[in-house]
Copies of this chain bind each other. A is one copy, B any other.
Amino acid sequence: MANSTDDMLHQAQLFNDFTAKQKLIIIAAIDVFAEKGYAATSTKEIAARAGVAEGNIYSRFTNKRGLLNAIITPVLDQMFPAELDDFIKSRLNQDYMSLETFLTVLIQDRITFLQSNAQIIKIVLSELLNDTQVRKRVINNFTAQYWQTMTHDLTVLKQRGVLVDWPFEDILRAIWSTTSGLILGFLYFNQPLDAETVNHSISATIKALSPK
């Protein structure tokens, strides 16, 4: 399953500090890691797909894990952002922020992000399940950045009485469960990610988190 040219360009933007051949290595590695997993992939295969000598991997990325880290770090850092995108902020910082607006903008934004980094997300997910270090990094990013960002807005919504009065953990789990369900279905089970499907999920989340 090769990347389209668009995907390659998009990914290349994330990796500007690298030479042309190093980018080829990264792109090949993303492909193979996403397909069979990090542990089941050999550096020899990556080099062959990239059309590059195997030693090149080690002169730039130190070792196999260094290559993995170079790939997943930029995505990991953007997954649970410390603050929201300017566009989102402008939509959310209105006089009256409805739960519907809040969840629609938020979920749409994350779906766009996850979908446009589909291959790398697959790698991150797999490592999340198998590697304690990666799992710690994700937890750390989540609690140190995202949690702070979200609880502020969630508190406002609670106070206005438009959000159910549950612990933040339960609310965030509800939001991320539906978002992840959508993305996982798309990535692994060939399910569509069209407007109607997404709208149903968003609508389900809105209803789920509205007070009775």
List A residues at the B interface (Cβ < 8 Å).
36-37, 39-40, 122, 125-126, 128-130, 135, 139, 166, 169-170, 173-174, 176-178, 180-182, 185, 188-189, 191, 197, 200-201, 204-205, 207-210, 212
- Residue contact B181 to A197, C-beta cutoff 8 Å: no
Chain B residues closer than 8 Å to A182, beta-carbon distance:
173, 177
Q: Which of B130, B177, B201 contacts A37 (CB 8 A)?
A: B130
The answer to whether A173 and B169 touch (CB under 8 A), given A126-B130, A208-B207, is: no
- Residue contact A204 to B174, C-beta cutoff 8 Å: yes
- Residue contact A129 to B37, C-beta cutoff 8 Å: yes
Q: Write the nearest CB–CB distance from A181 to chain B, whole angstroms.
A: 3
Chain B residues closer than 8 Å to A191, beta-carbon distance:
169, 173
A125 nearest CB neighbor, chain B only: B129
Chain B residues closer than 8 Å to A129, beta-carbon distance:
37, 122, 125-126, 129, 188
Q: Which of B170, B189, B201 contacts A200 (CB 8 A)?
A: B170
Q: Provide the bound-state CA to CA distance between A189 and B208, in Å.
A: 23
